[in-house]
Structure 1
């Protein structure tokens, strides 16, 4: 017999049970800890994936949202509604109908937006905030010379029905 076996054999039954219980408790704690670590890693991967998807959606949709031609502006705004959600959808529809469409038609506005850079500001599995740096070029009947404006907007997108919706667009 080894020295350890002889030592353990001399322990009282209570001491042996206490050591066995301690070892079992440590084993359970290790398994639970490993499970928590794996879950946290999976959640982190899910957040990163959502960030990539939300960013790509914002980069694709925001320039379309901010680009229009006075000849087709009503149709354009109607088509964009499917990519909008929450209160922003209603606000965008109202401002489009009452301000942007009449002004674009009256002044014969043609505007094109382009994303220069984009970065995820915050992301979880259902919501992503993206900062976009944009250039917007505009011509109108008031000035045939192209006017170029740079801007930054913070875009909030939310997961909905397996896709994404813009629920907030705020100039920064």
Structure 2
């Protein structure tokens, strides 16, 4: 028998008959002391989004009821319901794999297959990870929203889509085409962040990449909305980066996470801050 998957109610410590006010109070209490980059923060937000939306909650309750029905002995074990709450540790850091950090080596499965694990010089950590760190600001700019509020839901999704488009060029570059790489990223940045980006790009990447012939390519794995209102949103993204240079011609894979703060500027969602 498989281990039962905890429900959104279990995650928030609530009875299925809890009121919306109870859900909201439990959600606020549990995230109050969490950093937005904590994997539990994202999962708690997901739970609140489902349970504070009457239509989604009704459908979810029906799924839980169906899952609780006994299964015929000869039948196969049912598949997990699609919206059951994931364990935060297993959701964002599968068993056997370290939690995402600024730079991670090849995962355990790759090691078992004999893949080479690179030892990377400090100044050459894909360049872009250092760029992201240099642009990090304090968490004082963060704010709390009521999840699934009808008047910000569309804005939040638009900000998430814009973050997904932006993160790939921001975390990528090609030593042979640095001007194009920089321009591809600049179009997604607010004016203030663009100034910081240009300084770090010139001081780190343009200085080192041509000599090492480094190429970094980012690939989006998944994203989720952390917080949002009508004009600002924070989006958490998991990103794989592959790197090659004249010393390492086989692509090296790094698993990173980044949180993008998106501001709406003249009707367009742009990246105002980034943290890794």
| TM > 0.5 fold call | yes
2:211 to 94, 106, 111: 106
Taking the TM superposition and a 5 Å limit, the aligned residue runs for 1:98-137 are: 98-137=203-242
Number of residues of Structure 1 aligned to a counterpart in Structure 2: 130
Counterpart-to-counterpart distance in 1, 2:248 and 2:181: 23
Matched, 1:162 2:270: no
Counterpart-to-counterpart distance in 2, 1:135 and 1:78: 21
Partner SS state of residue 176, structure 2: coil
1:150 to 255, 262, 266: 255
Q: CA deviation at 1:80?
A: 2.4
TM-score normalised by structure 2 residue count? 0.45
Matched, 1:97 2:190: no
The 4+ residue runs of structure 1 with deviation greater than 6 A are none
Q: CA deviation at 1:133?
A: 0.4
Q: CA deviation at 1:86?
A: 4.5
Matched, 1:50 2:155: yes
1:3 corresponds to: none
- Which structure shows the bigger proportion of residues in helix conformation? 1
Counterpart-to-counterpart distance in 1, 2:187 and 2:258: 20
The answer to whether the Cα contact below 8 Å between 2:225 and 2:234 also exists between their aligned partners in 1 is: yes
Partner deviation per Cα, 1:66-121 (whole Å, 9 max, x = no partner): 11211111232134222101532111110001111221111101111011010000
* Alpha-carbon RMSD: 1.7
Specify every segment of 5 or more residues in structure 2 that has no aligned partner in the other structure, as ranges.
1-147
2:103 corresponds to: none
Rg: which structure is higher? 1
- Which structure shows the bigger proportion of residues in strand conformation? 1
2:169 to 64, 82, 95: 64
Counterpart-to-counterpart distance in 2, 1:102 and 1:46: 46
1:22 corresponds to: none
Counterpart-to-counterpart distance in 1, 2:234 and 2:204: 27
The answer to whether the Cα contact below 8 Å between 1:129 and 1:154 also exists between their aligned partners in 2 is: yes
The answer to whether the Cα contact below 8 Å between 1:74 and 1:101 also exists between their aligned partners in 2 is: no
Partner SS state of residue 164, structure 2: helix
Greater shift in the superposed pair: 84-93 or 51-60: 84-93
Change (3 A) 1:74 1:102: farther
The answer to whether the Cα contact below 8 Å between 1:114 and 1:136 also exists between their aligned partners in 2 is: yes
